[in-house]
């Protein structure tokens, strides 16, 4: 892949940067600015090179038309604060305001286009429609830099199609992500342990299947663990359960045994009367969950078990929390996994936090991000990478096309 350096002298050039600024909002307040902070180094590099920087990004899931609640206005403000400069927000994506905003840019200045998903062509399945938006984006720039790792698994106009129409390069964030994930997938140092959590087994079917041929240990927690426990014949009360995946999970357990891959399941579970921060709760054996109660975290014995399975690992990948970490009463399992990864890192292990809720948990629970080898900004993209899928936004850069 070409890097920013391969684009040559960028002074006075208009550079379109596809960033991932899809941050969580409470009204107009950003509750976790991790993705904005992650976008800053590449943008600052271009600013320092004298480029006119035009940033494209999305927020939320608007339905192809402007919606005030999905405006990037709060993001423009925060990005400007982090860059120490004004970031002008265009009032549209590629329309009159966008063209005027870009035309007014001076060298080293930054503009942000309004939510790219306000244009239905961005996510269209019709290649001609996407290409049309890509043409409009390309008219605003002289070069393209792909730096939104959280969207490189999407074949969308601002991610894929525009890279076919401009000299294109990978940004520092995406390059770091790819290098880190390849380190964990191409030839990982062993023992190689993967921690999977989150709500649904169905979200991680592909990654589990792929890792059964690569990892030494799979540690399973979160809501998805109850489908594993059910597959082993245990009752799971009112816990989250995907009954239609039980047979699939039985197959995974059999395959793991055949291949010598250790699957580590919780031995105890924190169960509660309801899904609420103040719900009455206690710890029960994982194979003796009572009727009418739901599991919301792995238990303390399991936390110690998981820790022991991580401390001697040399490569660790974690995707998905162990419980409902947003509620303090059910955050201990997630905290234990994060702490074990930090401690393993101090002994030389390389660790990856696979974006999404796991990255949010690291920040919410107060961990120093420097204690992990790499914290991904893209949960879905990192999962698909671990599945072994081709990511369109990476593949198009590896084609090294510079012209339409």
DSSP states of 22-53: ---EETTEES--HHHHHHHHHHHHHHHTT-EE
Query: How far is it, in rounded angstroms, from Cα 354 to Cα 249?
Result: 22
Q: Give the pLDDT confidence score for residue 387 in this predicted structure.
A: 86
Name the catalytic one among 95, 108, 371, 380. 380
Instruction: Decide: pTM greater than 0.85.
Output: yes
- Cα three-residue angle 372-38-202, rounded to 5 degrees: 70
Question: Per the annotation, where are the binding residues?
Answer: 20-22, 35, 58-61, 117, 154, 204, 295, 326, 355-358
pLDDT given for residue 404 in this prediction = 36
> Among residues 13, 35, 44, 165, which one is catalytic?
35
Backbone angles phi, psi at 379, to 5 degrees: -65, -55
Alpha carbon distance 143, 150 (integer Å): 21
- Residue 328 has a CB neighbour count (10 Å cut-off) of 12
Residue ranges of the annotated binding site for substrate are 20-22, 35, 58-61, 117, 154
Low-confidence ranges of the chain (pLDDT < 70): 400-404
* Parallel/antiparallel/unpaired status of strands 52-56 and 87-89: unpaired
Indicate the burial class of 389 (C-beta count within 10 angstroms; 0-12, 13-18, 19 or more): middle
Give the annotated binding-site residues for ATP: 204, 295, 326, 355-358
Active site residue 323: no
Q: Is 64 an active-site residue? A: no
Class level of CATH domain 178-387? alpha beta
Element (H, E) at 379: helix 379-387
Sign (positive or negative) of CA dihedral 84, 33, 2, 371: positive
CB atoms within 10 A of CB 162: 28
pLDDT at position 189: 96
- Conformation bin of residue 323: beta by default, left when phi > 0, alpha when psi is -120 to 50: beta
Hey, what are 328's tokens? Answer: 């303090």
- Which residues share a beta bridge with 319? 196
- Hey, do 4-170 and 178-387 end up sharing a CATH topology, with the first three levels equal? yes
pLDDT at 200: 86
Output the CATH code of domain 4-170: 3.40.50.1260
Domains of the chain by residue range: 4-170, 178-387
CB 404 within 8 A of CB 141: no
Is 356 one of the catalytic residues? yes
CA distances in angstroms from 212 to 87, 219, 262, 274, 350, listed in the order given: 46, 12, 9, 34, 20
Residues 6+ apart with CB under 8 A from 297: 269, 270, 322, 323, 324, 329, 330, 331, 332, 333, 334
SS3 at position 263 = strand
35 is annotated as an active-site residue: yes
Q: Which of 171, 320, 356, 378 is catalytic?
A: 356
Annotated binding-site ranges for (2R)-3-phosphoglycerate: 35, 117, 154
Say how far apart CA 210 and CA 212 lie, in whole Å: 5
């Amino acid at each position: 892949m070409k890097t920013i350096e391969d684009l040559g002298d960028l002074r006075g050039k208009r550079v379109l940067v596809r960033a991932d600024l899809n941050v969580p909002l409470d009204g107009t307040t950003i509750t976790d600015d991790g993705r904005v902070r992650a976008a800053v180094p590449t943008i600052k590099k271009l600013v320092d090179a004298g480029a006119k920087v035009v940033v494209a990004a999305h927020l939320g899931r608007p339905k192809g038309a402007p919606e005030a609640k999905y405006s990037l206005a709060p993001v423009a403000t925060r990005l400007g604060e982090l860059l120490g400069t004004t970031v002008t927000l265009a009032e549209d994506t590629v329309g009159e305001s966008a063209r005027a905003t870009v035309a007014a840019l001076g060298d080293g200045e930054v503009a942000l286009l309004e939510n790219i998903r306000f244009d239905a062509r961005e996510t269209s399945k019709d290649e001609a429609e996407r290409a049309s938006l890509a043409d409009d984006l390309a008219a605003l720039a002289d070069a393209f830099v792909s730096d939104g790792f959280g969207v490189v698994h999407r074949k969308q106009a601002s991610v894929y199609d525009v890279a076919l129409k401009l000299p294109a390069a990978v940004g520092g964030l995406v390059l770091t992500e790819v290098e880190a994930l390849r380190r964990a997938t191409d030839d990982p140092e062993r023992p190689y342990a993967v921690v999977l959590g989150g709500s649904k087994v169905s979200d991680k079917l592909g990654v589990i299947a792929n890792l059964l041929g690569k990892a030494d240990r799979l540690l399973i927690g979160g809501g998805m663990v109850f489908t594993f426990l059910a597959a082993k014949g245990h009752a799971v009360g009112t816990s989250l359960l995907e009954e239609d995946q039980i047979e699939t999970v039985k197959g995974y357990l059999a395959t793991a045994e055949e291949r010598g891959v250790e699957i580590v399941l919780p031995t105890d579970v924190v169960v509660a009367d309801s899904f609420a921060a103040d719900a009455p709760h206690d710890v029960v054996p994982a194979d003796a969950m009572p009727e009418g109660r739901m599991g919301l975290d792995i238990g303390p014995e399991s936390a110690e078990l998981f820790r022991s399975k991580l401390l001697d690992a040399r490569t660790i990948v974690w995707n998905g929390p162990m419980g409902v970490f947003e509620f303090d009463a059910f955050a201990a399992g997630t905290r234990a996994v994060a702490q074990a990864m930090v401690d393993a890192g101090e002994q030389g292990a390389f660790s990856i936090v696979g974006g999404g809720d796991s990255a949010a948990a690291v920040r919410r629970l107060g961990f120093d991000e420097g204690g992990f080898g790499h914290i991904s900004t893209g949960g879905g993209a990192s999962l698909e990478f671990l599945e072994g899928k081709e990511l369109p936004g990476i593949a198009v850069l590896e084609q090294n096309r510079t012209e339409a």
